[in-house]
Amino acid sequence: MGRWEPNARGRLEQAALELYSDRGFEQTTVAEIAKRAGLTERTFFRHFADKREVLFAGGGALQELFVGTVADLPDSVVPIDAVAAALEAVAAGFEGRHAYARERQAVIAANAELRERELIKLASWSAALTDTLRRRGVGDPAASLIAEAGIAVFKVAFERWVEEPDPRDLVQLIRESLDELKAATAGKCGSA
């Protein structure tokens, strides 16, 4: 029970999600999380920059998948389609994790500070995507706008996916959302 139990980081992540889910984010102290993981508060802060980050540290791999997908596509693919492909690749990464995503998202939705952190993570995706698009020769500000729009599509689709207890196909939700955005910016659909 002493030091050197394996996977300290993972234990902290799991303990945090459980406590945030049970008592709420604000009602949970870092000391409690650490204790449940068999560690000390100081060690928590060696693994995670702050109390919120423990819920978001896993997102780094997704961002790499996301950007990598766009970068690997042939230049002949138009930007909006490249973004669509990347979104679908990320969506596929959530396969079979609906229950986990749902619990985590419920915790985040219940607290403003956690929503803030989530938004800045998505903004970081958007910035990385903007960069990748520029490298493909997309101009400014088109690159930023396509990236922001793409992230918006993901956000909306993901929200819908998580809302329902009965998991639909996230990839398809993303396709639908993108089509709706295309229609709306063309000024053709959705008006009263």
Contact residues toward a second copy (CB under 8 A) are: 75, 77-81, 112, 115-117, 119-120, 123, 136-139, 141-146, 148-149, 152-153, 155-157, 159-160, 175-177, 179-192
- Residue 135: other Cβ atoms inside 10 A: 12
- Contact status: 45 vs DNA (CB under 7 A): yes
Burial class (CB in 10 A: 0-12, 13-18, 19+), 42: exposed
CB of 4 to a second copy, least distance (A): 33
- Contact status: 117 vs DNA (CB under 7 A): no
The 8-27 site mask, x for binding DNA (CB under 7 A), equals x-------------------
How is residue 139 written in tokens? 């101009």
**Binding residue (CB under 7 A) for DNA from 50, 64, 159, 169:** 50
How far lies 139's CA from each of 46, 66, 127, 142, 146, in Å? 41, 20, 14, 6, 11
Q: Quick one: what does residue 41 bind among a second copy, DNA, none, with the CB cut-off 5 to 8 Å set by partner type?
A: DNA
For DNA (CB under 7 A), the number of binding residues is 22
CB of 28 to DNA, least distance (A): 6
How far lies 146's CA from each of 110, 137, 172, in Å? 30, 13, 20
C-alpha 58/C-alpha 46 separation (Å) is 16
